[in-house]
Amino acid sequence: MELAFDLFIIVLRTFGAYIVVFGILRIMGKREIGEIGILDLVIFIMLAEMAVISIESVDKSFLFSITPMVILLIIQRITARVSLNSQKARRWMDGRPAVIIREGKLDEKEMSEQRYNIDDLLIQLHDKGIQLIQEVELAILEPNGRLSVFEKKDNPVKFYEPLILDGKIQHKVLEIMNKDEKWLKKELGKLGYEDNEQISYCSMNKDGSLHVDETNKEK
């Protein structure tokens, strides 16, 4: 009889842990496993471990066991909000995209900084049906570890990086383009934008014109 009761308690705790973890993941938002950042990955791993502990620790109340899960959810929501409003925080927590190949040429310095070797690169290129590095216009190592590849075409993208992000001018991108802030503000002025703080995202189109998205003031 006692064994049956213990089994019943484990079943209830398992069901309860499932509901709690499911609810937390729903609140965290819909993202594919391959797209999550390091911080979210850590939270997922800890959630899984805490769920097991909450099921096995029958000597402790279920509420006591799931409290750490709720704390993790609070941490994730806070960091997500900070990441949304701060480019520096976002890059610190999730990392930044790195250009590994530009115009068919390897950036060995960037590969060294990312601890990304040539064998890893070739494997991922082959998975995408690309045999030669010189066939690639741009290869970008994303913060989640995925390699985005753009093959050479008649009208390739020369500069994929944003010129303005969250109202901040990306001076390193301008330097790569051999442009300066004065040029950018002049081009924005032609489009009726006098303050870069009102711009959420600005990038260059293939024809050399600028694409601009304004900041949502209600965000």
Together in a domain, 84 and 28: yes
Q: Rounded CA gap, 43 and 31, in Å?
A: 14
Query: pLDDT per residue over 165-214, tens digit each?
Result: 878 888 888 888 888 889 998 889 888 888 888 888 888 887 778 888 88
Q: Which residues make beta-bridge pairs with 151?
A: 136
158 domain-assigned = no
Together in a domain, 12 and 79: yes
Instruction: Give yes or no for residue 136 having a pLDDT over 50.
Output: yes
180 domain-assigned = yes
Together in a domain, 33 and 88: yes
Top pLDDT among 69 and 145 is at 69
Nearest CA-CA partner of 47 in 23, 79, 15, 12: 23
Share of the chain above pLDDT 90, in %: 0
Instruction: Give yes or no for residue 33 having a pLDDT over 70.
Output: no
Together in a domain, 139 and 183: no
Top pLDDT among 217 and 174 is at 174
Kindly report the number of other CB atoms within 10 A of residue 98's CB atom: 16
Domain count, the chain: 3
CATH number of 206's domain: 3.30.240.20
- Look at residues 74, 92, 110 and tell me which one is the last residue of a structural domain: 92
Instruction: Give yes or no for residue 70 having a pLDDT over 50.
Output: yes
Query: pLDDT per residue over 72-95, tens digit each?
Result: 888 888 887 887 777 777 767 777
157 domain-assigned = no
Question: What is the domain extent for residue 23?
Answer: 2-92
Kindly report the number of other CB atoms within 10 A of residue 76's CB atom: 21
Residue 1: predicted pLDDT: 64
Together in a domain, 146 and 168: no
Query: pLDDT per residue over 150-168, tens digit each?
Result: 887 755 556 667 888 878 8
Return the structure tokens found at 171.
């001076």
219 domain-assigned = no
138 domain-assigned = yes
Share of the chain above pLDDT 70, in %: 87
Together in a domain, 111 and 87: no
Together in a domain, 44 and 124: no
23 domain-assigned = yes
Average predicted confidence (pLDDT) for the chain: 80
Residue 219: predicted pLDDT: 44
Together in a domain, 46 and 77: yes
